[in-house]
Structures are given as C-alpha cells and as structure tokens.
Chain A
Amino acid sequence: MPKLTINGMEIEVESGTSVLQAAEMLGIEIPRFCYHDRLSVPANCRMCLVEVKGAPKPVASCAMAVGDGMEVTTNSEVIQKARKGVMEMMLINHPLDCPICDQGGECDLQDQAYGYGFDRSRYRETKRAVKNKDIGPLIKTVMTRCIQCTRCVRFGEEIAGTADLGLLNRGEDVEIGTFVEKAVSSEMSGNMIDICPVGALTSKPYAFHARPWELKKTESIDVHDAVGSNIRVDSRGGEVMRVLPRLHEGINEEWINDKTRFAYDGLKTRRLDTPYIRNAQSGKLEKASWDEALNTVAEKLKSTSPEKIAAFAGDLVDVESTLALKDLMNGLNVSNTECRTDGAFVNTDTRASYLFNTGIEAIEEADAIILVGTNPKHEAALVNARIRKTWLSKRVPIALIGAPVDLPYPYEHLGSSAESISKLTKAFAKKLGAEKPMIIVGDQIFNRSDASALHTQLRNAAHKMGCVQEGWNGFNILHRHAGRVGALDVGFTATQPINVGDMDVVYLMNSDEESILSDCSDGSLVIYQGHHGDAAAHRADVILPGAAYTEKNATYVNTEGRVQLGKQSVFPVGDAKEDWKIVKALSNRLNVELPYLTLIDLRERMSREWPHFDKIDALPNETWPDDMMTGKEKASNCLKSPFKLSIENFYTTNVIARASKTMQECVEAFTKTKPQKKAAE
C-alpha cells in the first residue's frame, strides 16, 4: 500500500486511491466541481489542483492516483493562485444572478468563490448566454449558469441508465443539452438537481418558493415505496417545502426517486382535515366533530358481532397505528384483520419468507440476479439503481421471469409464467456456476389463487440454485408498499381471505384498494381513517382524518425488514390527528383497554412482543428454517397464466402521489412518450 505525505501529514492508503480521496481521509478539504464520489472522474473543472513534488505544474488531484513516497501540498501559494485562476475562468461566463438563483445559499460555486474568488471582475467583454432547455416538469434549467462539469451527463449515463443529456459543441459554444428537445425520462432524474454544483439545474416545483436558510430540516423516512429511502423533509411554517435525500449507504446511497422527491405537493391538496359522517337521508358526507364521528363508529362496532367486522391496513400505514388497530380488534374479538389489501398473499410462515433477505447493499455482492414478476424500475427505483450499479461494475448476468419490461441493463428473458421457474433453476444458474445468486420476487405475483404453491416453488428453486447458504440468503421478496412489512411483522393478517361482501363494518386504515371498496355491501358501514380524499373517502360512511407521513412520528419497516423511524416535520392539517391516537380514542369509547398512553409506551409494547423493533436501522439477519424446503404444495399446482405487473404508472401509486399536481404533470410528460429502446453502456 502506497504511503504518501499530504501537507506534511503521512498517510497510507490503498493503491488506486486518488490524491483527493487520500486528502479527504486526512480531513483536508479540496475544492471541486466535476468530481463526485459516485460518478466517473472526468477531471474537467480543474478546481482540485494540488502541487506534487517533482511535477512541473499543478495536477488535478481527483484524477491523480496516489504513488508511494508522493509529497503533496494542497495549501501553497502556487495552488491558491492556480485555484483562483480556475475560479476566475469559471466566473467569466457565470451570471451574477445569485440573488434570484434558487441554488443561492447551497451553491458549490458560491461557497467556493468565497475562498478563491476575487471581489471584482477583470472581464470587460460580454458574457455568453445559453438557451434554456425544456427537459420536463421536474427540472428547471438556467443553462447560462452551467459550468460544464458534466455531472448531470454522467449521472444519466451511469446511475440512471438513460443517457438523455450530453455535452454538445465545443470551446466557447459548448453546452449541456438533449439536442433533440425531449424530457429527461428517468424516475431518478431529480437527483441531477442535487448533484448540479451551480444553479443550472434546479427543482421546477420548488422554484422561487423558499431559501435554504429559512427551512426547518427534519430527517425522516420515505413511504412512497417499500425501500424506505432516508429523506430530509424541509418545511417552513406548517408547509413541506421540499424533500431531499439523506445519505444511507445501505439503502438509497444519496439518491431518491422522483416520486419521493416531488410528490410532496400532494400533501397540500385533497386533504381530509375534519371528521365526516354520511347523512343517512341525503347520502352526502357532512362535517362532524370528533366526538360525533367516534361515537358513531363505537356504537356500530359495539352492536355488530365480531365476525361481521373487518379491518384493513393499507399501503402507507405505520407500525404503531397498525398495532393499535390490531389490539383494538383483538379486544373486540375480531379476527378479520388484513394488511395484504391488494390480495398479494405473500407467505408469512417466518419473517424470512417475506423479506428482502439479502439486503439492498448486498446486491452488489451477487453474481447472478433473477427477477421474478417484478419491474424494479417502478416498484423500487433504488433497488433498480443498485442492480444497475452491480451490472456496471461486474456485468452480472440478470434474468427476468414475468412481463418483459424496460430496464436500464440487459437481461435474459426466461419466460412469463410460473412454468419458467423450474426451467431457470436448471439452465440459468448452472450455466453460470454462480456462487452468490439472488432471486428477487415481486410481492404482487402472490396476488393469485396459487400463491402458496408459487411460494413453495420459488423457495425450492432458490434452494436448488444455491441462493440460501451460510452467510448468504439470496431469497428476496420485493414489496411495493411502505406499510406492508411492518404490518406483516405485527401479524395484521387473517388466516383466510376475508369476504368483504359479508361484512357489516369495514374499517379501512389508509387503504384505498378499489377491489375492497367495490366489494363492500351497500348496507355496511365503511369507516375510512386516512389523510387523503381518494377512492375510499368517496365510499366511506365515516371519515376519521389521520396524519400523513410528514406529520407523525412513526415506525416503518422497509422491504429488507429494516426498522426505521420517521419524524414529524409539520402538524397534521385541520383537525386531523395522529393515527394511533385516533384508535386509542376509539378504544376508550369501546371499553377496550389499550395498555399505552404515549408513543413510548406503544413502542415498548411493540418491542416486547417483537424484539426486532428495538434495533433501529439494523439489517435483520433472519434465520431460514430447514423446513422451508418441505413445501406443502406441489409445483404443478401453479397456474399457467403469465405474471402480471400491478404498477402501470410509476407516478400515481398512492394517494399522496395521486393528489400531487407535479406527479400529474409527469404522467403527461413521461408516460405518453415512447420508452427508450436500449440501455446505456
């Protein structure tokens, strides 16, 4: 391992490390624009110049690999002068519009100009101007501000896998563009806003809304998919102004998908801000007080026999309120509780049978990946990004069983139905001799009558391929809903499918599933506890307004089984309340004792019964019992019909996204254009 000195400090690093990275390890900050940890190194901004003893002139530290005995100086006068020169060059064509630029206050160029800029310009000629590009409803472009670092180009090429942007022309005329006017069609495109070091690419929905120093930052968890991306919710007053990613190497690295980032405007529209009760005469929903609404519900629950009551926990529920609802229903002797509202009856024998056991980070270790009945691009864009990263770094072979989809990496299509699963075990894995194969199963494929046979067959296939071994469990279920795994963890499941039509009372917590709503009989009382006036609120007889994910402290479990805490950023709108408190208030009226008064009590109750809720942010290592092999059903019981995909439109998968204007614009802009044929290299 080469040893080098930087500013007189000695450090030993792995060979292949760049001087910039070595300096960073020593805590020496080197300014940079084009260099980004997760992207390739073009070394075109020249801001990271350092002096290396023996080299005739300053070198770009980002592209300079360390050598043994290298002596590097990062703070000499020569370097200061060189960086000042680079900065001056960059500012020649950069407009002085910081006061009206959205990047102001969090701009790399602005910050570094404080260290290396001049207080006046020597440039007297006219600045060049570049035409702004229209690249869709999410990213606003002010191309005159661009310093041609090409981070966005490399992001598109390397991370997102859709090379739409490029660096065109040369010299004075050089510009970033798509050339042929088109929207940047990637569900990860919002990240270009974050990596742009200047104000060339900024958020269109957030434009001119707030300044970074006015915002209250809350570190929270995303609920738009089951990945559980770590996010930072920026709010001002009672309003969520924007959502940004937060670094988590195990889950989302430093990216988030566009729905996570831009659907927040859905939190401000179509909200349920007061309880409603349907007037029996007029058939219309009328505003009510909490007392009236809760009493109506309590009376009906009291007068109905337990087998005529059903409770459903939907896509966005948190663990606390699911558990409170479960305790309440248990207190009423109701056994019809179900969280798999879409009918995707994933097996719940052990925790390992419904988790993404490998973990998202460990995808990078896999040497063969088989996707079954899933479109990771839509269901978990960040898992998809991780698969692409793995494919880019070692060209891992990838196969798909199910509906063929457009993915940013090449894959072998093995078939569309359950029949192909046995084919894959023989052919695909053996051919490759994979040591760490992994199989990723979309939870939606269990939305069929053969769910249990399918699960058996998949487990057998996983075993035969060697997916499960000491220290490696390559059997993964990819969930789509943030609330699902947590609800499965606390056992919010029924032993048999619930016949909704038979029920007199249907309690929907955050569940807007059309199939349940259409099954509700006319005479039944439908109670909807949720935060958006979507399909369920339309059908409901009583509405109990709850809090959205930015408005409550709540626990979520992601598809890996990782327990994470979402934090409250703003208060619930109007009279809406935190969901577990609504259930608690209801329990008081039903004389069912829920043994907790505070959230802390409730969390203690959770971790007493399920100790894994104590281990926040820990990747579970669930045991895989040997009897998982012995399936109860034969593979031949599987249906022949092809697997279907449930998400037709990435941008409108839940109530928040459906209420979001930005997401509607995305639907207009992206889903109506033809998808790209080929993946980028």
Chain B
Amino acid sequence: MKPKFEPNAKYQPKEFSFKSKKKIKDILANYPSNQARSAIMPLLDLAQREVAAVGAKEKKPYGGWIPRAAMDEIANIVGQPPIKVYEVATFYSMYNLAPVGKYLVQFCTTTPCWLCGSTKILEAAEAHLNIKMGESTKDGLFTLMEVECLGACVNGPMVQINDDYYEDLTPENIVSVLESLAAGKKPTVGSQTKRKGSMAITGPTSLEAEAKKAGVV
C-alpha cells in the first residue's frame, strides 16, 4: 500500500514549479480547452518525474513523488479546485504522495506471484536491505512497497522497480538485482532466467516454426 498523503507534513516543500513549461503545453494540447481537467493525470506523472530527476542528482529523498504544492500548482494550471487533483492523486497507487527512495521496489503479492513464492523474494529483499515492507533505506536508495497484480503473472514472482519489470525472481537473483542497482549499474530488465518474453521455460509449445523463424529459440 502506498504511503498516506499528509498535506501538512514537514517534508512538504512550500512551493513547486514545473521545470518544463513546454511539456505542460504539450500535455494540455492533447485535450479540448474546456476539458483541461483531463490533463490532471499526465501532469501528476510529469510532476513525479521531475521530482525524481532532481532527486537523483541532489539531496535526499531521492525518488519521484508528488508534493502537495505540485498538486495545487496542477489545480491552478487546469483551473480546478485543488480537491479534484487530490481525489485523482489519492486514488491511483502509481502516484507517490510521500517521499520514496531512488528505487521504488513494488512487490506483487497477489495470488499467482504468491503461489510462485513472492513471500520468499520479499523476505530476501528485506533481509538484504535491512528494512521492512513500506520502509525506505537510510541512504535513500530503496523503498519497498506492496502492490496488487501488475499483470506479469506468467513470469511470476516479479517486482516493478521504477518503470521496469524484473521477472522470474528467486531469493538469489532479487538480491543481485538490488546489488547492481545500488552499485549504479543497470541490471537486465525482464526475466532474470533469460526466458524469452512469456514463453514456457521448456521452449515453445505451439507456433514452433514461427518461433524458430523469429529466432527466439
């Protein structure tokens, strides 16, 4: 579950302004001018990414999140009362409303992943980072978060770290993913067992000729 929105918390900055005015203009251009409130969602995303871009270079916390000031600014841009933005931002789990680590590790714990051993993956990650679910590491690098199904059930168990999926996890390879992220390297995205896409582990069971032709086997 994502952290609660605390509009008056100490970590909330007093002011927020978007870096890229052009991106705002581009987003607003996607919608009719009398339906500007449709732009709330992409603008929230933009705010989160801009915070992340700054955080990656400067001070803690490192990750992307949306301060209240940003929501008020968005309300201003689209000409809506702030509550309309709060409603949207609190509804979706992908908008972080409190500071998170540079790498937000979202654990899928829904049934298919859970059956495939997501609990063990989680325990391994918790032991490695020495934090519990919902907490962040002191260096501001990692935050662990529990989420519902992310739709990669075939390759479960899996986690989403920022924008990327890491699939077919084992207690060992989740640790190596986290280690290489901490070292500033970019681990392989997708299946950690070199599986192609969502193909069966034993190789293709149908459309074999096509798979060969495409060179995936």
A residues in contact (CB < 8 Å) with B = 162-170, 178-181, 676, 678, 680-681
Q: Which residues of A contact B8 (CB under 8 A)?
A: 180-181
Q: Which residues of A contact B5 (CB under 8 A)?
A: 179
Cβ of B82 under 8 Å from chain A:
yes
A680 engages B86 (CB within 8 Å): no
**In the complex, how many angstroms separate the beta carbon of A326 from the nearest chain B beta carbon?**
50
B91 engages A169 (CB within 8 Å): yes
Identify the 8 closest CB pairs spanning chains A and B, nearest first.
A166-B83, A163-B81, A166-B87, A168-B90, A179-B86, A169-B90, A180-B7, A170-B91
> Can you pick out 26 interface pairs between chain A and chain B where the beta carbons lie within 8 Å of each other?
A162-B81, A163-B80, A163-B83, A163-B84, A164-B83, A165-B83, A166-B83, A166-B84, A168-B86, A168-B90, A169-B90, A169-B91, A170-B90, A179-B82, A179-B83, A180-B8, A180-B68, A180-B86, A181-B8, A676-B81, A678-B79, A678-B80, A678-B81, A680-B80, A681-B37, A681-B79
Main SS of the interface on chain B?
Answer: helix
How extensive is the interface on chain B, given as a class? Answer: 10 to 19
6 other A-B residue contacts (CB within 8 Å) besides A164-B83, A165-B83, A166-B87: A163-B80, A166-B86, A179-B7, A179-B82, A179-B83, A179-B86
Q: Which residues of A contact B86 (CB under 8 A)?
A: 166, 168, 179-180
**In the complex, how many angstroms separate the beta carbon of B216 from the nearest chain A beta carbon?**
39
Q: Within the assembled complex, what's the spacing in Å between the Cα atoms of A632 and B85?
A: 56
**CB nearest to A178 among chain B residues:** B83
B80 engages A681 (CB within 8 Å): yes
B7 engages A680 (CB within 8 Å): no
Complex interface residues of chain B between 1 and 24 (CB less than 8 A to chain A): 5, 7-8
Our pick among B68, B80, B81, B87 for the contact of A168 (Cβ within 8 Å) is B87
Q: Which residues of B contact A179 (CB under 8 A)?
A: 5, 7, 82-83, 86, 90
**In the complex, how many angstroms separate the beta carbon of B32 from the nearest chain A beta carbon?**
13
Q: Report which residue of B37, B80, B83 has the largest number of chain A beta carbons within 10 angstroms of its beta carbon.
A: B83
**In the complex, how many angstroms separate the beta carbon of B5 from the nearest chain A beta carbon?**
7
**In the complex, how many angstroms separate the beta carbon of B38 from the nearest chain A beta carbon?**
11
**In the complex, how many angstroms separate the beta carbon of B71 from the nearest chain A beta carbon?**
9
Q: Which residues of B contact A181 (CB under 8 A)?
A: 8
Complex interface residues of chain B between 81 and 138 (CB less than 8 A to chain A): 81-84, 86-87, 90-91
Q: Within the assembled complex, what's the spacing in Å between the Cα atoms of A463 and B5?
A: 56
Q: Which residues of B contact A680 (CB under 8 A)?
A: 80-81
Q: Which residues of B contact A169 (CB under 8 A)?
A: 90-91
Our pick among A167, A170, A180, A681 for the contact of B82 (Cβ within 8 Å) is A180
Q: Within the assembled complex, what's the spacing in Å between the Cα atoms of A140 and B80?
A: 26
Q: Which residues of B contact A168 (CB under 8 A)?
A: 86-87, 90-91
**CB nearest to B91 among chain A residues:** A170
Q: Which residues of B contact A678 (CB under 8 A)?
A: 79-81
**In the complex, how many angstroms separate the beta carbon of B11 from the nearest chain A beta carbon?**
16
Q: Within the assembled complex, what's the spacing in Å between the Cα atoms of A162 and B5?
A: 22
**In the complex, how many angstroms separate the beta carbon of A630 from the nearest chain B beta carbon?**
45
Q: Within the assembled complex, what's the spacing in Å between the Cα atoms of A164 and B80?
A: 11
Complex interface residues of chain B between 50 and 79 (CB less than 8 A to chain A): 68, 79
**CB nearest to A166 among chain B residues:** B83
